[in-house]
Amino acid sequence: MKIRTAVIGAGKMGAIHAKVYNSLPQSELAAVVDTDVSKAKKLARKYRCDALAECSELLGKVDAVTISTPTISHYELAKLFIENGIAVMIEKPLASDAGQGREIVELAKNRGVVAAVGHSERCNPVVQALKRLEISPRFIESTRISPYPFRSTDIGVVLDVMIHDIDIILSLAASKVERVEAVGIGVIDPDKEDICNARIVFENGCIANVTASRLALKTERKVRVFSRQAYLSLDYFGKTGTIIKADTDNIELINKIRQLKNGGTFDLLRTDWTKLVHYEKLQIDDKEPLRLEQESFLEAVADKGLTPEVSAEQGLAALECAEMILACIKKHKWD
């Protein structure tokens, strides 16, 4: 039996969500909703579904919706659908603030309704490959920069793009945040930070350094992970990654370490470092992140024993950490 789905918001992201829903065998795209009915109709014609102006018209007609609207509207829309037993996938961030996010989480829990958050970068093939390695990071360095997108102008760079990395880092660190330090500045709009750097310290000792900017001349989305198991260098945008770790069976490496411990030296210039360590390309399955995200969501809708890729609880944790960063920026605001 197919799950009846709908997309709220006919903008760029809404159009992508509609396309994926329409292509999934377990989904029946029933409608597109937008206050701008002409936008909704244009998208609905493409996928042969209904075009609606009011979300209330969906009640009793669908099983699950994706909310792809400005952040300020997430809370009220999520509340409407959850109270009527309809599962929700909410584009990141979960809500305008953590208070609203907590209400969404509690409401979904009390009503037994699936609530997921669209942190699609968690579904990036690189992140999925990283998850399979089951490493325990000690230090994470993340960079996400791009030209100004001329969208999401109601929020700053932290809630717009850095929150992707916050979510990934929280899942990797697997620990509570102890404290954050951050600095950010608004250039396009003085009240909305366009550049931010944050340092997140976790209770288990892991430390993350995160940089985000929407004023760069190029697009770059990279992360480096230091752990006892390996050093990893990953490129989300290029969908590539490398793993470097000590080759404990390498006799030459063992002898050189023993030589150093005994006070000896060797010629670094004549040493081929690549032969002393294990170096490999990360095996990556090139699957569309949004497709994986929606498949996971619909699987959880069909089977309540499963959880979506990013649950509302995890989306709330990312939002709470983002608010700690924003509070730090405000505290150290430049004149």
Query: pLDDT (tens digit, 9 = 90+) per residue, 7-46?
Result: 999 999 999 999 999 999 999 999 999 999 999 999 999 9
Q: What is the mean pLDDT of residues 228-248?
A: 85
Enumerate the β-bridge partners of residue 139.
Answer: 207, 226
116 has which bridge partners?
89, 311
The residue-averaged pLDDT of 201-220 equals: 96
Report the pLDDT value the prediction gives residue 140, as an integer from 0 to 100: 98
Q: Provide the pLDDT for residue 49.
A: 97
The residue behind tokens 């997309």 is: 7
Would you say 317 and 96 are in contact if contact means Cβ atoms under 8 Å apart?
no
Does domain 3-119+289-310 correspond to CATH entry 3.30.9.10? no
Segment among 8-12, 119-123, 147-151, 211-215 with least mean pLDDT: 147-151
- 8 Å CB contact between 149 and 11: no
Res 260: pLDDT: 58
Lowest-pLDDT choice from 170-184, 192-206, 269-283, 318-332: 269-283
More confident residue, 67 or 333: 67
Q: What is the pLDDT of residue 137?
A: 95
Q: Residue 306 pLDDT more than 90?
A: yes
What integer is the mean pLDDT of 222-242?
91
For residue 229, pLDDT beyond 90: no
For residue 10, give every residue at least 6 positions away whose Cβ sits within 8 Å of its Cβ, in sequence order, or none: 18, 32, 33, 34, 36, 39, 40, 42, 43
Q: What is the pLDDT of residue 146?
A: 93
Which CA distances in Å does 81 have to 66, 88, 200, 222, 239? 10, 7, 34, 36, 35
Report whether 307 contacts 87 (CB < 8 A).
no
pLDDT for position 285: 81
The reported pLDDT for the residue numbered 85 is: 98
Separation of alpha carbons 179 and 248, rounded Å: 36
Query: How much is the pLDDT for 267?
Result: 57
Could you say which of 1.20.1290.10, 3.40.50.1000, 3.90.850.10, 3.30.360.10 is the CATH number of the domain covering 123-245+282-287+320-331? 3.30.360.10
Query: Mean pLDDT, the chain, as a whole number?
Result: 90
| Least confident stretch, 43-52, 146-155, 282-291 | 146-155
Helices (H) then strands (E): counts for the chain? 10, 14
Report yes or no: 319 and 312 within 8 Å, Cβ to Cβ.
no
How far apart, in whole angstroms, are the C-alpha atoms of residue 32 and residue 43? Answer: 7
Give the DSSP per-residue string, 30-41.
Answer: EEEE-SSHHHHH
**Under 8 Å between Cβ of 214 and 157:** yes
Percent with pLDDT over 90 in the chain: 75
- Of 37, 34, 4, 41, nearest to 21 by C-alpha is 4
**Average pLDDT, integer, range 123-138:** 89
- pLDDT exceeds cutoff 70 at 184: yes
d(CA 127, CA 168): 8
Which run of H or E residues covers position 221? strand 220-227
- For residue 322, the tally of other CB atoms under 10 A from its CB is 27
Same CATH fold assignment for domains 3-119+289-310 and 123-245+282-287+320-331: no
Average pLDDT over residues 170-183: 96
pTM of structure: 0.87
- The string of pLDDT tens digits covering residues 256-282 is 556 656 666 655 555 555 556 677 888
pLDDT band at 150 (very low <50, low <70, confident <90, very high): confident
- The phi-psi region of residue 158 (left if phi > 0; otherwise alpha if psi is between -120 and 50; otherwise beta) is alpha
> How much of the chain is helix, strand and coil, in % rounded to 5?
40, 25, 35
pLDDT band (50, 70, 90) for residue 149: confident
Domain boundaries, the chain: 3-119+289-310, 123-245+282-287+320-331, 246-281
Which whole number is the average pLDDT over 97-121? 97
Report pLDDT for 173: 96
Cα atoms in the Cβ-side hemisphere of radius 13 Å centred on 73: 14
Q: How far apart are CA 163 and CA 174, in angstroms?
A: 16
